[in-house]
Structure 1
Amino acid sequence: MYVHLQLHVQGRLAEIHLNRPNVRHALSRALMREITACARDLSDRTDIDVVILSGDARCFSAGADLKDANAWADDSLSTVQRRDIAGTGFRMCKAWEEMPQITIAAIEGYAVGGGLALSLACDWRVLAQDAFVSLPEIALGIPLTWGTIARLVNLLGPAKAKRLTILCERIGAPEALAMGLVDYVSDKGQALARAQALAAQTLAMPAATMRMSKESVNAAATALNHATSYMAHDQIALAASSPESRAARDQALG
């Protein structure tokens, strides 16, 4: 059914594993479309109440696939086409944020850029003790989009959101837990197992009440998210076309 995802369902639990290991699960447009479609398909299922999203033992995701990035600034495409391409990640994260099930990201190694952005659209994040997260977008000459800034402000407040967004720091597991960026820290290699234990704890709760509660929390937390994120498609297309942005991406690609 999926080319770049592995989906396993056992009882009321679904596990999704990103499956582009040769490129560290980089989020190409094809992969993001599959992740979005998977979220929408699972959202329609009333027999599944918890969804775990993970990469592999090496990493969660290296972020947006920069080989796709030139399409953001491709002058041969129409503005409508460029906005559609630039909005792929936004739609993906929104689909995950709106899932009625409880969603848990299990992170080994690292979740960078778009990988961290995707995990922030989940309800909870489990990070292995030796892993780190970072948001290097500004260093690559592009703004942080996909609705991520609004989610960071909701989780951390404006000062920490600016720090993560602007300084592009690597944040290790203990600090990420202390600042509220992740919810649980596991032993090395045990992020998925810790997520599965959390899923079992969640599945012991009444399913309907759990869904109602998630919807209520999200309604309160995300009320202004669209108002602060809807111009992201245009911001990324504008920034990506600048000479400094192109140079930064070329350098990153080697």
Structure 2
Amino acid sequence: MDALFEGGWTHIAVSRREAVVEVALARTEARNALNGPLMEELTEAARLLRLRTDIQAVILTGTDSYFSAGADISASQARAGTGALLEARRAVMAGPDLCRAWEEIEAVTIVAIEGYCIGGASALAVSCDFRVMGKSAYMRLPEVPLGMNMSWRTLPKLVALAGPSRAKQYVMFGEAADATRCLDWGFADEVVDDGQALAAARVWADKVTALPPLPVRMTKEAINGIAATGAQASIYMDRDQYLLASRTNDYREGIAAFREKRKGKFKGD
């Protein structure tokens, strides 16, 4: 039996069309927020896909209305605040492990984004090769305004895609980048009419499957290696930075301000 298609998933749906696999986030009762079980299933699916030679393209998608509301804040707080720092350090690897698993898939990965793609979901999206967005879709990283750093192995990818200045704007200010800006900055590869992102992603996948698979994989590996030169030196500490930030008063104030729908009052402690 093929574990990828046995139907044992609870929070994702996996289907196949010849050499193309589609993975859809399916935690719709929580706007596809990335909690532990959903991240575990996405990570496991990526690991099962990683070296499959019978698969040439993988499409990752959400619903027709939204991709994902990002990391589940309550779950993230629980992981970061778990007992001893050593245990907390291990617990907060779920997000980085998820992004790494999708980076390491040898087939070409394409993300179809409708509506919002926030926080950890944006980190996951830029871990893939290409992104297609509906024209009303947007991406946003709210972490810094909430009092934490942006981790999940994301910063080198943003710099590679958009350059240092735009990456700083996107991360620091936490403002939504609409589909037009994402296309201009390099976060998106195509913008289509709303509701057509998945159909367009399928066209991209068909272009991939029409190519000889070996040089495609070698090209992906080579370009990713070039783009990621020095990345490990810059991100090896991002989970420790997150653990430090998550224990500050500013972090608690940021989360409280978010929940109370007000501006935060930060003091640098």
**Matched residue of 2:54: which SS?**
coil
Q: Distance in 2 between matches of 1:173 and 1:67?
A: 28
Find the partner of 1:28 among 31, 35, 40.
Answer: 35
Deviation digits for residues 129-161 of structure 1, max 9, x if unmatched?
111111111111110001111100111111001
The DSSP-based 3-state class of the residue aligned with 2:60 is strand
Determine the C-alpha separation between the residues in 2 that align with 1:212 and 1:69. 36
Please list, as runs of the form range in 1=range in 2, the aligned pairs for 1:24-103 lying within 5 A after superposition: 24-74=31-81, 77-103=83-109
Residues 66 and 115, structure 2, Cα contact 8 Å, conserved in 1:
yes
Amino acid at match of 2:36: R
Letter in 2 for 1:150: P
Q: Which residue is 1:17 aligned to? A: 24
SS, match of residue 163 in structure 1:
helix
Matched residue, 2:173: 167
- SS across alignment from 1:8: strand
Q: 2:13 — aligned with what?
A: 6
In the alignment, what sits opposite 1:215?
A: 221
- Aligned position for 2:205: 199
- 218, 230, 234: which one pairs with 2:240? 234
Asked whether the 8 Å contact 1:40–1:99 carries over to 2, the reply is yes
The correspondence for 2:153, drawn from 123, 126, 147, is 147
> What is the CA distance between 1:102 and its match in structure 2?
0.1
**Which amino acid in 1 is paired with 2:10?**
V
**AA partner of residue 228 (structure 1):** S
Identity of aligned residues (%): 38
Q: What is the aligned residue count?
A: 253
Contact 1:54–1:106 at 8 Å: present in 2 too? yes
Distance in 2, Cα, partners of 1:240 & 1:79? 12
In structure 2, give the amino acid aligned to 1:128.
G
Query: Does the CA contact (< 8 Å) of 1:125 and 1:184 recur in 2?
Result: yes
The Cα offsets for residues 160-192 of structure 1, whole Å up to 9 and x where unpaired, read as: 010001011111111111111111101110000
- How far has the Cα of 1:239 moved from its partner? 0.5
The whole-number CA distance in structure 2 between the counterparts of 1:162 and 1:172 is 16
After the TM superposition, which segments of 4 or more aligned residues of structure 1 sit over 2 Å from their partners? Answer: 250-254
- Contact 1:66/1:253, CA 8 A, preserved across alignment: no
SS in 1 for 2:58: strand
Greater relative CO (CA pairs within 8 A, separation 6+) = 1
Give the drift of 1:72.
4.1
The DSSP-based 3-state class of the residue aligned with 2:44 is helix
Structure 2 letter corresponding to 1:193:
A
Task: Give, in whole Å, the separation in 2 of the partners of 1:38 and 1:111.
Answer: 20
Q: Secondary structure at the match of 2:194?
A: coil
The runs of 5 or more residues in structure 2 that have no matched partner are: 1-7, 261-269
Q: Given residue 49 of structure 2, which amino acid in structure 1 is its aligned partner?
A: L
Q: CA deviation at 1:21?
A: 0.7
User: Do the aligned residues in 2 keep the contact of 1:51 with 1:101 (CA within 8 Å)?
Assistant: yes
Deviations 1:34-81 (A, max 9, x none): 11111010113211110000100111111100011222442x522221
**Secondary structure at 2:148's aligned position in 1?**
coil
Q: What SS class does the counterpart of residue 23 from structure 2 fall into?
A: strand
The residue identity in structure 1 corresponding to 2:172 is: I
